[in-house]
Amino acid sequence: MQNNRQSVVLSGIPRSKSMAWWGAALAVGAFTLDLLELHGRGEAVLYVLVVLLFLWSTYWRHVLVVAGVCSLLTLVGFVLYIVEPEELTARADITNHLFSFGAIWLTAVLGLRMNHLSEALVASEARTRTIVESAAEGIITIDDEGTIESFNQSAAQMFGYEIAEVTGQNVSVLVPSSERAALKRGLAAYRDSGETRIIGTKREVTGLRKDGTTFPILIAINEMRLEQRRLCVGIVLDMTELRGAQEHAIRVQRLAAIGEAMAGLAHESRNALQRSQAALEMLAREIDGQAEAKELLDRIQAAQDDLHSLYEEVRGYAAPIRLKMTPCRVDALMQSAWEKMREAQPQRDVRLVQTGTENDLTCDLDPFPIRRALRNIIDNSLEAIEGPVCITVSYADTELNGRPALEISLRDNGPGLPVELREKIFEPFFTTKATGTGLGMAIARRYIEAHGGMIDVAKSSAQNSPPGAAFRIILPRTQL
């Protein structure tokens, strides 16, 4: 409580011993002036000033002592004055000194009460500020024009601003441009008609960070009134992690459903495929030399191979991942995946450029799933580009969750990914191809995340970055 008492805002004068000495000197001066000139007429003003000075500069016990001393000086001044009877006007002098006595104690009591309330207000404000600043949620206060009046530290971190940067600006800077018109209409309706449908509600909206990125937020809005002013208080929760957890749970549910379906499919179809393959091999021997029949047989074989590949891809996505870690150079895995893709499409004009290979590119990995993930990304580029293909891969040191990691950036020379596809490309069964399951990029992400890494579509500047689709992979160098 000592700190609160030293920070009383009402007085505006810091407490100090020097101020107390000035008060004592003023008390002595008032007593002397009362004896020489005032004779009980107006010395109350001087003594009240003494009490006020002590109220502003010292503590309550001292104030009571000073009030008692000033009362005693008033009494002494009255007694010394009445020793000259020819000057005595008893009734007026007694009344004046009684008024002085009452003014001193009234000032002391009311001043102490005011100081107590002021200190309580400061303490309450300090507690409120501490709660607001330590809250994990963002807390934003705006007036009915949409001007931001307060912005706690959690909100500043959430939106990427310094508190001073955003205070005084319109709240529209925190939402994407596509939603600002609706926000403006809502504020106008609240301001002009008192419409309070949004008060006390929670809603999910999109927030806009200082760097231009958007993220999902949950906001609860309440109203606060200060005299004649209306303020809106928004409590903001970043939903990014929750959304990620929800999406992960959905993926897990999908995997469980796929796993159950694949268990039945494996039981029923594997034997059928084997019988069909045996019959095809026997039939191939019977029609040896019949070109037309052989061509039809080849088509049947190709269709069966496609069916088998589809079955294996879905089964591989649903199956649990069991990793066998070993130190591997990532550039060697990239080159191996590239060579296998070239073997599968020897007629294509394709080129791989790797930069940064002079650095240490060793990570603890299971080479098979990582190679498969890289192949799926490369295959995605080959499918999207009709002409010559050039894929540029660069490597850089980075950190992931506080651990040393390797960043792998892949960029092709194709048309790039439209904005609407960037968020969907890793979803299972999403594809823009005429054929395929749409599991290639989903499998790549699953394998990389199984290693404790991450993959996303690389962010780039529209003006300075080269064209093409760009992916960023971050892999921890060691496993926990």
Which whole number is the average pLDDT over 18-25? 59
Residue 276 shares a structural domain with residue 350? no
Cα–Cα distance for residue pair 49/362, rounded to 1 Å: 80
Higher pLDDT: 35 or 151? It is: 151
Percent of the chain scoring above 70 in pLDDT: 62
Residue 207 shares a structural domain with residue 68? no
The reported pLDDT for the residue numbered 362 is 93
Which whole number is the average pLDDT over 312-325? 73
Higher pLDDT: 189 or 206? It is: 206
How far CA 362 is from CA of 109, 327, 330, 335, 395, in Å, comes to 78, 6, 6, 14, 11
Question: What is the H or E stretch that residue 479 is in?
Answer: none
Give the range of the structural domain holding residue 455, as residue numbers without chain letter: 326-476
Cα-based angle 368, 373, 374 (whole degrees, multiple of 5): 100
Helix or strand or coil: residue 382? helix
Residue 177 shares a structural domain with residue 88? no
The reported pLDDT for the residue numbered 8 is 38
Cα–Cα distance for residue pair 52/48, rounded to 1 Å: 6
Residue 426's domain is classified under what CATH number? Answer: 3.30.565.10
Residue 333 shares a structural domain with residue 463? yes
Residue 121 shares a structural domain with residue 179? no
Which whole number is the average pLDDT over 228-250? 80
Q: Is 183 exposed, middle or buried (0-12, 13-18, 19+ CB in 10 A)?
A: middle
The reported pLDDT for the residue numbered 244 is 78
Cα–Cα distance for residue pair 358/396, rounded to 1 Å: 11
Residue 408 shares a structural domain with residue 385? yes
Residue 342 shares a structural domain with residue 360? yes
How far CA 133 is from CA of 218, 264, 420, in Å, comes to 19, 56, 37
Cα–Cα distance for residue pair 47/44, rounded to 1 Å: 5
The reported pLDDT for the residue numbered 12 is 40
Residue 18 shares a structural domain with residue 124? yes
Higher pLDDT: 267 or 224? It is: 224
Residue 190's domain is classified under what CATH number? Answer: 3.30.450.20
**pLDDT tens, position by position, 386-444:** 888 899 999 999 998 889 999 999 999 888 887 777 777 887 766 666 555 667 888 88
Q: Is 9 exposed, middle or buried (0-12, 13-18, 19+ CB in 10 A)?
A: exposed
Cα–Cα distance for residue pair 26/51, rounded to 1 Å: 10
Among 77, 103, 133, give the residue marking a domain's end: 133
Residue 47: pLDDT over 50: yes
Residue 286's domain is classified under what CATH number? Answer: 1.10.287
Residue 274: pLDDT over 70: yes
Among 133, 161, 183, give the residue marking a domain's end: 133
Contact present, 68 and 101 (Cβ < 8 Å): no
Residue 30: pLDDT over 70: no
Q: Mean of the per-residue pLDDT values for the chain? A: 75
Cα–Cα distance for residue pair 408/378, rounded to 1 Å: 13
Residue 43 shares a structural domain with residue 151? no
Helix or strand or coil: residue 299? helix
Among 293, 318, 343, give the residue marking a domain's end: 318
Residue 6: pLDDT over 50: no
Residue 335 shares a structural domain with residue 470? yes
| pTM (predicted TM-score) | 0.46
Cα–Cα distance for residue pair 276/83, rounded to 1 Å: 136
Which whole number is the average pLDDT over 466-470? 79
Kindly state the tokens that stand for 459: 């962010």
Most confident of the ranges 10-14, 211-215, 259-263, 286-290 = 211-215
Residue 210 shares a structural domain with residue 116? no
Q: Is 166 exposed, middle or buried (0-12, 13-18, 19+ CB in 10 A)?
A: buried
Kindly state the tokens that stand for 216: 């999902």
Residue 462: pLDDT over 60: no
Confidence band, pLDDT 50/70/90 cuts, at residue 291: confident
Burial letters 310-326, b for 16+ CB under 10 A, else e: ebebbebbbeeeeeeee
Cα–Cα distance for residue pair 224/228, rounded to 1 Å: 11
Residue 230 shares a structural domain with residue 259? no
Lowest mean pLDDT across 152-161, 343-352, 359-368: 343-352
Q: Is 373 exposed, middle or buried (0-12, 13-18, 19+ CB in 10 A)?
A: buried
Q: What is the DSSP letter of 459?
A: P
Higher pLDDT: 195 or 307? It is: 307
Which whole number is the average pLDDT over 362-380? 90
Q: Which amino acid is at 159?
A: F
Higher pLDDT: 33 or 339? It is: 339
Partners of residue 138 on adjacent β-strands = 236
Q: How many domains does the chain have?
A: 4
**pLDDT tens, position by position, 57-80:** 556 566 666 776 777 666 666 666
Contact present, 27 and 50 (Cβ < 8 Å): yes
Provide the CA 108 distance to its chain's centre, in angstroms: 51
Q: Quote the crossing angle between the two packed helices 291-318 and 240-286, to the nearest 10°.
A: 150
